[in-house]
Amino acid sequence: MSYAIICSSKTGNTEKLAQRAREVLGEKGEGPVADADLVLLGSWTDKGGMDPALADSLPQLVGKRVFLFGTCGFGGSQAYYDRVLDRFAAALPEGAQVVGRFMCQGQMPPAVRERYVKMAEHDPKKFEPMIENYDRALGHPDAADLDAFEEALRGAL
C-alpha cells in the first residue's frame, strides 16, 4: 500500500505518532500525496484545531482516503479529543474521506508550567487544575499512546 504523511509537529509529540505509522506501514510505501492510497494527516492542536500552517496542503486531499491524527495538551477527556478531531475534519476539503482518526495527550514545554504557577497565585481555582493537567501530560505520547495509535491505524487499513 502506498501512503503519504503530512504532519505538523512543533515539539516532536505528533512526530512520534508519524514515526510509528512509518514503522507500521513500512518506509518503502511512503511517497507523494498524489500517488498515495492513504494519506495520514497529523497536527498538534492549536487553539482547539489544526495548525493553520497545514492549510496549503489540504486541497490535494480531494478524492483521498485520510487518516487524521494529532496530539493536544489537554488530556483525559475523549470528548475533548473528539471535538478537536471534529475541527480537524471540518478543515478538510469536500471529497476527502476520513477513514480513521486518533488523538492523545502531548506534553507541553516547561515555560507553560511556569506561567501557570504564576497565574495560580492570583487564580488558584482556575490554574491549579491546569498545573495538574500539565504534570499528567509529561511523557506523552507514551508507549501506551503509541500502541493505541497503531491499533486505530491498523483498524483503518
Ligand X SMILES: Cc1cc2nc3c(=O)[nH]c(=O)nc-3n(C[C@H](O)[C@H](O)[C@H](O)COP(=O)(O)O)c2cc1C
Binding residues for ligand X (CB under 6 A): 9-15, 44-48, 71-74, 106, 108
Judged by CB, which is closer to ligand X: 37, or 114?
A: 114
Q: Where are the beta strands (DSSP E) in the chain?
A: 3-8, 38-46, 49-50, 65-72, 97-105
Q: How far is the CB of 149 from ligand X (least distance, A)?
A: 13
Judged by CB, which is closer to ligand X: 2, or 11?
A: 11
C-beta atoms surrounding 58 within 10 Å: 16
C-beta atoms surrounding 80 within 10 Å: 16
Q: Are 105 and 136 in contact (CB under 8 A)?
A: yes
Judged by CB, which is closer to ligand X: 95, or 139?
A: 139
Q: How far is the CB of 65 from ligand X (least distance, A)?
A: 23
Q: How far is the CB of 110 from ligand X (least distance, A)?
A: 12
